[in-house]
Amino acid sequence: MSRLLPALLTGSLLLGATLATAKDAKPALQYPETRKGAVVDDYHGNKVADPYRWLEDANSPETQAWVEKQNEVTFGVLRSIPVREKIRARLTKIFDYERYGIPFKEGGRYFFAKNSGLQNQSPIYTTQALDQTPLLLLDPNTLAADGTISLSSYQVSPDGRYLAYGVQTSGSDWIEWHVRDVETAQDLPDKIEWSKFSGASWTKDSKGFFYSRYDAGDEKTKLQTSNYFQKVYYHLVGTPQSDDPLVYERKDQKEWGLGAVVSDDGKYLGIHVSQGTSPKNRFFFRALGNGPTKGEVVELLKEGEAMYQFIGNDGPLFYFRTDKDAPRRRLIAIDTTKPGEAPKEIVPQSEEALDAADYVGGRFICSYLKDAKTQVRIFDVIGKKLGEVSFPGIGTAAGFGGKPDDPETFYSFTGFTRPTTIYRYDVATGDNKIVFQPKVDFNPDDYTTEQVFYPSKDGTKVPMFITYKKGLKKDGQNATYLYAYGGFSISLTPTFSAANLTWLEMGGVYAVANLRGGGEYGEAWHEAGMKKNKQNVFDDFIGAAEWLIANKYTSTPKLAIGGGSNGGLLVGACLTQRPDLFGATLPAVGVMDMLRFQKFTIGWAWTSDYGSADDDAAMFAYLRGYSPYHNLKPGTKYPATMVTTSDHDDRVVPAHSYKFAAAMQADQAGPAPVLIRIETKSGHGAGRPTAKIIEESADRWAFLWRELGMR
């Protein structure tokens, strides 16, 4: 039994659901009654009803009772699926393998994360040499018995003496920072609260670090209240947070996100200024010669007209990855001693999108995406190509961090059926060496991945990866899970997943479509799927489904679609536009109310990709035209659906999923179930304990096994 089930569900029947007759194995569901309110909003003279507005109050007893009753129905259905426990057992076995994070070096020591297999969170280790037995530095599993306290990030001081680490509780985005003595592996009294969307960046003297935070708020409403006016502070180790000096704020710019980074030479504080989730940003800096809080802040790049990622410096010469005059991005250098002088191009724009860049060992390590697959090229400081990094196949490489004088760097490489392996790369010689290679209980030779290009509605060619067991018969009878995201310039690249491997072992086909709105082909690809171009994203996804059916990989009764967050919106929009096309849908932590998303936590930041119904009548009409919650229609036969969300999600508040599920249950005219699975003590996804990942994955595949007729 899932440990998420309420204690009262120990009998064989469920409150709110009855069993069907013996000739029908599926239960005929009676959903909990959901009250309809009379709320009506006025948008630019247009009246829009919001009957389930009351579900936005997550703290009300009525909402909490609704959540409990919905979970009773959902987990009752899941308990009745005969293969559920078998799937869970197989997931547990596959997940039980040793895996590592990417090492980095500070103060003459290496630091890395390592999970023995089924640990809910990955502990942090340190060692002076990678061939030695590492020492345990921090085990986040000791912070909460159920693994619901996770690390958000951690940073070691330049002298290797201190570890600044942030923890998040129950998946919330709020971060609490602590400082640990590396030698003793004991925490100091330091504690920093009300931080969010922040890392820690140490000063060169290792006396303290910069971080970002918001003003203290109400504990009861902090999972829903909007976040504005982020500020940069400096924390001196051994002092209370109340003594932390304010480093930078902008009282005239409530939407600016402020992130601080100290240059590797310790001479400059860079201030990355974002606005919403737009990749366009500003970049300011301050010389640190007079201390962490003194000196003029220079607004180096103040227009916010393009993306500028600071990747390093040689004294006053700053290097950036940018899409200024280069939608597929390039490398430039700016001499900060010569204000007004045009930037110097170091590495020009390529045919492929420049996805990442690092300045290590006097080299620029540039990671490109070639049709959503990683290619890495090495350049010297004047832009001369020195070579490429070779990889053992099609996949995704990440990492390559380090300092300008480091002789080595580390990276990971992974693919759909290739578990993440960690490599050491010698910057001077180009030699690759495996450092950590996992052993997973499966044979990768049993599977294959292919990439196809299919036409969207307007003729645009869209790439899609398809992974399956070798020997697949293209007879239209294969259960297929189609996954995508399509937004915020985020690229989907080949990645290993123990959960997806279990799906493949069940005989399922796993397809990933690289929709417009992502960053696979640079900023033009992103812009083709944002704001009033958002329908392109849905058309791309529908086109992927139609292609899979036309080419006999699957058929409508055997096809499921899934996605999370912006991908949950994608699934919600497509199932309302084409309910006839899918056999099952799995919208996870989705943005389902496109008229009110900006009113909660950090939702206002997404208007850079979505637009806002409040600010623009034309944008209201466009958003109203595809908003999943507002486009459900009574009397429609919808496919089997299991909405998933979490009670501590303060990124996309669970009210989106609550309201959508309530409306869909009310409007469903067909026999297919509409369920909502509400995870407890969990958030948007980051830091979720291994046990909860296994539970939710087992429930997802069991639901699809049932609804797609798998045997």
Q: Per-residue pLDDT tens for 593-634?
A: 999 999 998 888 899 999 999 999 999 999 999 999 999 999
pLDDT of residue 11: 26
Mean of pLDDT values over 242-253: 97
Nearest CA among 200, 191, 318 for reference residue 260: 200
**pLDDT exceeding 70 applies to what percent of the chain?**
95
Mean of pLDDT values over 331-352: 96
pTM for the model stands at 0.91
Question: Which tokens is 587 given?
Answer: 């919208």
> With bands split at pLDDT 50, 70 and 90, how would you rate the model's confidence at 247?
very high
> With bands split at pLDDT 50, 70 and 90, how would you rate the model's confidence at 684?
low
Q: Indicate if the pLDDT at residue 256 is higher than 80.
A: yes
pLDDT of residue 450: 97
User: Does 653 or 21 have the greater pLDDT score?
Assistant: 653
> With bands split at pLDDT 50, 70 and 90, how would you rate the model's confidence at 17?
very low
Nearest CA among 593, 565, 617, 603 for reference residue 276: 603
> Which residue has tokens 């947070």?
241
Q: Which helix (H) or strand (E) holds 213?
A: strand 208-213
List the domains of the chain with CATH numbers.
Answer: 40-93+442-701 (3.40.50.1820)
CA angle 204, 243, 267 (to 5 degrees): 20
pLDDT of residue 649: 67
Q: How far apart are CA 405 and CA 677, in angstroms?
A: 50
Q: How far apart are CA 545 and CA 566, in angstroms?
A: 18
- Which one of the listed residues 178, 235, 630, 684 is annotated catalytic? 684
Catalytic residue status for 648: no
pLDDT of residue 683: 61
The one-letter code for the residue type at 436 is: F
Q: Indicate if the pLDDT at residue 590 is higher than 80.
A: yes
**Cβ proximity of 462 and 382 under 8 Å:** no
**Cβ proximity of 297 and 284 under 8 Å:** yes
- Which one of the listed residues 367, 565, 612, 646 is annotated catalytic? 565
pLDDT of residue 146: 83
> With bands split at pLDDT 50, 70 and 90, how would you rate the model's confidence at 15?
very low
pLDDT of residue 23: 32
Mean of pLDDT values over 411-438: 96
Weakest mean pLDDT among 292-301, 325-334, 415-424, 644-653: 644-653
pLDDT of residue 6: 24
Q: Indicate if the pLDDT at residue 493 is higher than 80.
A: yes
Q: Indicate if the pLDDT at residue 465 is higher than 80.
A: yes
Which residues, at least 6 apart from 242, have a Cβ–Cβ distance to it below 8 Å?
none
CA angle 5, 10, 16 (to 5 degrees): 70
Sheet holding 385-389, edge to edge: 353-360, 363-370, 373-379, 385-389
Q: Which residues of 235-256 are buried (b: 16+ CB within 10 A; e: fewer)?
A: bebeeebeebeebbeeeeeebb
pLDDT of residue 150: 85
Q: Indicate if the pLDDT at residue 24 is higher than 60.
A: no
Q: Per-residue pLDDT tens for 550-559?
A: 999 999 999 9
Q: How far apart are CA 374 and CA 354, in angstroms?
A: 10
Mean of pLDDT values over 304-332: 97
Q: How far apart are CA 388 and CA 196, in angstroms?
A: 37
CA angle 702, 704, 707 (to 5 degrees): 110
- Provide the 8-state DSSP code for 60: S
- Provide the 8-state DSSP code for 675: E
pLDDT of residue 50: 98
Mean pLDDT of the chain: 93
Q: Indicate if the pLDDT at residue 292 is higher than 80.
A: yes
CA angle 48, 49, 50 (to 5 degrees): 120
Q: Per-residue pLDDT tens for 185-194?
A: 999 999 999 9
Mean of pLDDT values over 201-212: 98
Q: Per-residue pLDDT tens for 58-89?
A: 889 999 999 999 999 999 999 999 999 999 99
pLDDT of residue 601: 86
Catalytic residue status for 116: no
